[in-house]
């Protein structure tokens, strides 16, 4: 697969690094350096980050939170992570622009497909924060949505496992990894590497997903250079 424009999804939870909560500066800077490296190769990059290191709407409901309010907190958590990444990218010399799904100037500009594309064409990394702006969705679904909107060649799901397995590799030591897998096979086997809403959006709009381990330094560049790491879902 050749990549000219990518949507990179970063897990909020991975941003914690070795910490129990919040943002680990070392991990954050490693992400920024790797993104800068790939941007310098001329690849257009949009980024969507989760918020699981700070707050997840569903975890709030068990403590009595209203789901919609909890999800709004979760979406704001993705904005916090995005501001941190924006700052880290600036520190490594990478121009970038922060977009928000809901109006929040001067934190970021209100997202639109055209503004994000214009940024990327100018060599800026477009950080698209705030999820879809709606409760009951996940950051994976927001990534699928934004990836389709900005006409990315693929959605790269950077996570803490190195691909899609026959079963959750964190629970089943006998699970084996797929090099590629079809969307239909993901449904048939009930694989839970992304939620169904996100998977269905990608399938219906022909956006391939690449699941890879973003926590191994250099993996993003390896992938862009065509190395066979991770799993392609298409």
Ligand X SMILES: O=c1ccn([C@@H]2O[C@H](COP(=O)(O)OP(=O)(O)O)[C@@H](O)[C@H]2O)c(=O)[nH]1
Instruction: List residues near ligand ADP by CB under 6 A.
Output: 11, 13, 50, 52, 140, 159-161, 164-165, 167-170, 191-193
Nearest to 161 by CA among 146, 173, 153: 173
Q: Which residues contact 185 (CB under 8 A, 6 or more apart)?
A: none
Q: How far is the CB of 114 from ligand X (least distance, A)?
A: 21
Q: How far is the CB of 74 from ligand X (least distance, A)?
A: 2
Q: How far is the CB of 41 from ligand X (least distance, A)?
A: 25
Which one, 13 or 109, has the nearer CB to ligand ADP? 13
Under the binding rule (CB under 6 A), the answer on residue 11 touching ligand X is yes
Which one, 131 or 163, has the nearer CB to ligand X? 131
Distance CA 117, CA 123 (A): 10
SS3 state at 231 = strand
132 binds, among ligand ADP, ligand X, none (CB under 5 to 8 A by kind): ligand X
Q: How many residues of this chain interact with ligand X, rule: CB under 6 A?
A: 23
Q: How many residues does the chain have?
A: 234
Strands 231-233 and 209-213: antiparallel
> What x-and-dash track marks residues 13-42 binding ligand X by CB under 6 A?
x-----------------------------
Please check if 56 is assigned to a binding site.
yes
Chain-centre distance for alpha carbon 55: 16
Cβ 166 vs Cβ 181: under 8 Å: no
Strands 109-110 and 96-100: parallel
- 110-129 burial code (b ≥16 CB/10 A, e <16): ebeeeebbebbeeebbbbbb
| Among 6, 39, 46, 75, interactor with ligand X by CB under 6 A | 75
Query: Footprint of ligand X on this chain (CB under 6 A)?
Result: 11-13, 50-52, 56-58, 70-71, 74-75, 77-78, 131-132, 134-135, 137-139, 142
Binding residues for UMP: 51, 71, 132-139
Binding residues for ATP: 9-12, 52, 56, 159, 165, 168
């Amino acid at each position: 697969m050749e990549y000219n424009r990518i949507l990179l999804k970063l897990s909020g939870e991975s941003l914690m690094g070795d910490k129990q909560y919040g943002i680990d500066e070392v991990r954050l800077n490693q992400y920024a350096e790797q993104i800068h490296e790939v941007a310098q190769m001329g690849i257009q990059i949009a980024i969507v980050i989760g918020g699981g290191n700070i707050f997840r709407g569903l975890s709030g409901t068990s403590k009595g939170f209203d789901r919609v309010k909890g999800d709004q907190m979760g979406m704001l958590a993705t904005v916090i992570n995005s501001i941190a990444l924006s700052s880290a990218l600036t520190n490594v010399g990478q121009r970038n622009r922060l977009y928000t799904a809901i109006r929040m100037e001067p934190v970021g500009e209100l997202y639109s497909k055209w503004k994000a594309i214009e940024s990327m064409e100018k060599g800026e990394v477009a950080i698209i924060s705030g999820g879809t702006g709606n409760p009951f969705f996940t950051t994976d679904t927001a990534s699928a949505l934004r990836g389709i909107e900005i006409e990315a060649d693929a959605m790269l799901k950077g996570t803490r496992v190195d691909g899609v397995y026959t079963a959750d590799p964190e629970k089943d030591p006998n699970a084996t990894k797929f090099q590629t897998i079809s969307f239909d096979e993901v449904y048939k086997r009930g694989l839970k590497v992304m939620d169904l809403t996100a998977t269905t959006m990608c399938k219906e709009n022909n956006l391939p997903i690449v699941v890879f381990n973003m926590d191994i330094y250099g993996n993003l560049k390896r992938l862009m250079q065509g190395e066979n790491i991770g799993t392609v879902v298409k």
